[in-house]
Amino acid sequence: MKTGRTLTSLAEELERQLSSKKDLIVPASFMRHSTDEAGSTRLAIDGAAEPLDFGVTPLARRQLAEKLKIPYAYFDRMRTDQPQLLDRNVNTWLQIDDSRRMVRTLDGNVRALLSDRYHRIDNYALAESVLPVLKRLPDAQIVSAELTDTRMYLKVVTPQLKVEMAPGDIVQAGVVVSNSEVGQGTVSVQPLLFRLVCRNGLIAPDFMLRKTHIGKTIGKESEITVFKDDTLASDDRTFLLMVRDIVQAAVSEATFRQTAQKLQRTVGIRLAGDPVKTVEVLAQRYTLSDDERTGVLRHLIEDGQLSGYGLVNAVTHYSQTVADYDRATEFEALGGRLIELSAQEWKGLAEVA
C-alpha cells in the first residue's frame, strides 16, 4: 500500500487549507476568462465588493469546458495555440449563461467549478469527526493517509481481526474513509483488507456509505454569495455522527469474514492459460496503460503465484509503485473488484490462450 503522508502532516495541511479556502456562488455572466501567451488561465469575477481574480487549475478548466459544452480537447488546443480565440469562446458562452456556479478556491486559484446546489462536505470537518472514531478501533494503525488535488484518504487497519490465507500469509481487517471537495466523488467508507507479507491493500467495492454532494440552491440568483467553512448545517452534523457507526460496521467481524472469504476463493483459481494474455485481457477490461500492464505482469511473474489470488495480489502490489496516489488507490480498488468476479468472468481471464 502506498504510504502517503504522516497523520501530523495531513492535519497541518488541512488546517492550512482551512484558512486559505474561499467559496463563492457566482452568476456565470459575472465571470470573465483570460489566457496569457504561456497558456495560463485566469478567472475574474465582477460584481463583488472587492476585485476578485484567480488562477485556474487544470481540473477547474476541464469542469469549465464541460459546463460550457466545449469539447476539452478543443478547449486545450485553443489554450495553447489560440488563447484569444479561447477567451472569446468562453466569455461569449458565459455571458449568455443564466446559471450560477459554486466557485471553490484555494491559495488564490479556482480549484473547482460546480453546481450552485453542490453540498459541501469538507475534508477538515470529516477528518475532525472520523479520526477519533478510527483511533478507538482496537490497536488501530493508520497505515496510509493522503490529501491529493482531488481527494482525502484515511486508511486504517485493526490487527485484532485477521485470517491466514496460507501458512504465514496473514490478512488483516481495515477501513478506508475518503472524500472529494472538488466534485470528484462522494464521501465513502469502505472495507479494507491488508496483506502483511507485502503490505498490499485491497479495497472492497461494496460501499458501506455513500454521501452525495447535492443540496439546496444557495443565495439569490443575481448576487454573489461568499461563505467559509466554519459552519455546518444540522443535517451535515448528523451525517458526520453517523460515520462512527458506519466505520464500525466496515471493520466488523462479519464484514471482514465475508470479504476475506471472497479473496480466499481466488486461491483455487488456476491461471491455466498464457499469463501474458491474461494480463492483456485484464488491461483491456479495466483500461490499464501499457506501463501499468507491464508492471502488473512483472509482479505476477516475480511473485510466482499463477492463480486468481496471485493476479489480485499482483494488481495491489503494483499499486505501491504508482507515483500518483489517486491512481494507486484505484489499483487497490481494482483488487477488490476482482474478488467479486463470477466463475464465468474468472474463466475468461484464467483460461485465455
Please write the tens of the pLDDT for every residue from 251-263. 888 889 999 999 9
Residue 217 lies in a domain: no
Q: Please indicate, yes or no, whether residues 274 and 342 belong to a single structural domain of this protein.
A: yes
How big is the chain, counted in residues? Answer: 353
**How many structural domains compose the chain?**
3
Is residue 83 domain-resident?
yes
As to burial, measured by CB atoms within 10 angstroms (0-12 exposed, 13-18 middle, 19+ buried), residue 234 is exposed
Last residue of a domain, one of 79, 96, 115: 115
In this prediction, residue 302 carries a pLDDT of 93
Spell out where 135-266 has E strands. Answer: 141-147, 152-166, 169-179, 187-195, 200-203, 209-211, 225-227
Q: Answer whether residue 226 is part of any domain.
A: no
Rounded CA separation 117/262 (Å)? 39
Q: For position 218, what pLDDT does the model report? A: 45
pLDDT value of residue 226 = 57
Q: Which of 115, 146, 172 is the last residue of a domain?
A: 115
**Is the domain of 38 the same as that of 86?**
yes
> Cβ–Cβ contacts within 10 Å for residue 125, how many?
20
DSSP state of 118: B
Domain boundary, last residue among 115, 135, 166: 115
Count of helix runs (H) and strand runs (E) in the chain: 12, 13
Q: Are residues 181 and 143 in the same domain?
A: yes
The answer to whether 202 touches 1, Cβ cutoff 8 Å, is no
Rounded CA separation 197/301 (Å): 17
- Beta strand pairing call for 100-106 and 52-56: unpaired
Nearest in space to 182 (alpha carbons), one of 152, 215, 226:
152
Residues in contact with 4: Cβ distance below 8 Å, sequence separation at least 6, in sequence order: 10, 144, 145, 146, 153, 325
Q: What's at 177, amino acid-wise?
A: V
Sign of the Cα torsion 188, 341, 266, 353 reads negative
134 with 200, same domain: the answer is yes
Domain check: are 297 and 320 in the same one? yes
Q: Residue 73 has which C-alpha cell?
A: 480537447
Is 256 inside a domain boundary?
Answer: yes
Range of the domain at 278: 269-350
Same structural domain for residues 134 and 174? yes
| All residues at 6 or more sequence positions from 12 whose CB lies less than 8 Å from its CB, including other chains | none
Q: What is the pLDDT of residue 136?
A: 87
Q: Is residue 191 located within the same domain as residue 240?
A: yes
Confidence (pTM): 0.88
Q: Pick out the chain residues at pLDDT < 50.
A: 215, 217-219, 221-222, 231
Domain presence at residue 3: no
Residue with cell 496483506: 195
Whole-number pLDDT of residue 222: 46
